[in-house]
Amino acid sequence: MSGTTESLEELQRRVARQRDRPAYGHDALIVCDRLVRIFARRGGGDGVEVQALQGLDLLVREGELMALVGASGSGKSTLMNILAGLDVPTAGAAKVAGRDLLTMDAKARLRYRREVVGFVWQQTARNLLPYLTAAQNVALPMQLAGGSRRERAGRVDDLLSLLGVADCRDRRPQAMSGGQQQRVAIAVALANDPAVLLADEPTGELDSATGQQVFAAFRRANEELGTTIVIVTHDQAVAGEVRRTVAIRDGRTSTEVLRRTEVDETGRESLVAREYAMLDRAGRLQLPAEYTAALGMADRVLLELEEDHIQVWPDENDGENGDGYEGRTRGENDGRTDGENGGRTDGGNG
Ligand SMILES: Nc1ncnc2c1ncn2[C@@H]1O[C@H](COP(=O)(O)OP(=O)(O)OP(=O)(O)O)[C@@H](O)[C@H]1O
Ligand SMILES: [Mg+2]
């Protein structure tokens, strides 16, 4: 009987260990776990679906300023709309600052949009009310959330100066430049001190010099207020200036570029960027198309585990009849063209 008790105890310990293991993204502010969003095709009653997000994983830590890039149609705006609480995913999990974006009811969703996230759109005209001044635009979200008039006035001025548009205080949007409008829009989005600021191509309608100014305003908000910021951008200059750029491909996160400052022996600082591929929770990895094309990899690759890395080889049988795996060891036969079989098991194709 004692054997049974022991194994029961062991089982309990194992369950406890499982339970105590931190959940995926437990310390992240934004957690997307195998996020799926399927749309019925626009305008079509033909039952054709578009899988805009196909199991997207993304973690964003508190205080980060990061960029999302990707080809048109890759799912960037779909993701942003979900994080903004404007759209609901079809499956998977999405949490922002502890709020579950799948299960929020309408009331919680409204509060979430007002208090937890701020949003800046690409279209300058969409961000501000045209008949209100900059100061009135920034005060409006605070008014909706409550708070005294005096507190509001102070914060409006603080935000406008922080973003370098104090001089636009009493102007309406039509009397401001595009870049000024976007910086006021950032102030509006920050009015209620959100945990997360989301921006979908905020510099898309601006020339590059103005885009740089607007990006500098995001950076200031991140540094001074500690707001976590996610920016979707096509602008290489913007993407090159953040510490982390995540690329989305076909509705999934595919690669990630991390940048850090390194100091060399002479004391000179330089920004070093490294590109990483994303390994999803099931262990799936997407190889860059340039790499697979260069080596003619298709369908199958051969993997070999080394002490500190994994080697990926093209399938040598590609183009032969497929299942004649040769069990060949790399290195032994490389470069052999003498027609000899040299230790190679021929697998008996044919
Ligand atoms: N409301 C919708 N109804 C149907 N299909 C949609 C809807 N919204 C997006 N899609 C489709 O989902 C896919 C992803 O679109 P999304 O707008 O997220 O791309 P994106 O990465 O933001 O592209 P862009 O860089 O052009 O803005 C596209 O194929 C798009 O046509
Ligand atoms: Mg988009």
Q: What domain range includes position 70? A: 61-86+105-257
Q: How many whole angstroms separate alpha carbon 326 and alpha carbon 320?
A: 11
- In this prediction, residue 278 carries a pLDDT of 84
User: Residue 322 above 60 pLDDT?
Assistant: no
Residue 349 lies in a domain: no
149 within domain boundaries: yes
Q: What is the pLDDT of residue 237?
A: 78
What is the average pLDDT value for the chain, to the nearest integer? 85
Distance 67 CA to ligand 2 centre (A): 13
Residue 169 lies in a domain: yes
Q: Are residues 68 and 174 in the same domain?
A: yes
Task: Out of 20-34, 85-99, 136-150, 256-270, give the one with best mean pLDDT.
Answer: 85-99
Same domain assignment for residues 313 and 199: no
Mean local confidence (pLDDT), 52-67: 95
Q: Is residue 10 predicted with pLDDT exceeding 80?
A: yes
Query: Ligand 2 centroid to 72 CA: how many Å?
Result: 7
How far apart CA 164 and CA 220 sit, in angstroms, is 10
For residues 65 and 211, state if they share a domain: yes
| Ligand 1 pocket by Cβ (under 6 Å) | 39, 42, 50, 52, 70, 72-78
Q: What is the mean pLDDT of residues 97-123?
A: 93
Give whole-number Cα distances, 349 to 279, 317, 346, in Å. 35, 10, 7
Model confidence, pTM: 0.82
In terms of domains, do 242 and 301 share one? Answer: no
165 lies in the same domain as 311 = no
Same-domain pairing of 252 and 128: yes
Q: What percent of the chain has pLDDT over 70?
A: 87
Asked whether residue 184 is domain-assigned, the answer is yes
Answer yes or no: is pLDDT of 337 > 50: no
Count of other CB atoms within 10 angstroms of residue 13: 10
- Give me the pLDDT at residue 329, please: 47
Each residue's pLDDT tens digit, 167-181? 999 999 999 999 999
pLDDT number for residue 281:
76
The residue nearest atom 30 of ligand 1, judged by CA position, is 73
Give 217 Cα–ligand 2 centroid separation in angstroms. 21
Q: What's the total number of domains in the chain?
A: 2
Segment 240-267 shows an average pLDDT of: 88
CATH number of 148's domain:
3.40.50.300
Does one domain contain both 323 and 174? no
Both 177 and 316 in one domain: the answer is no
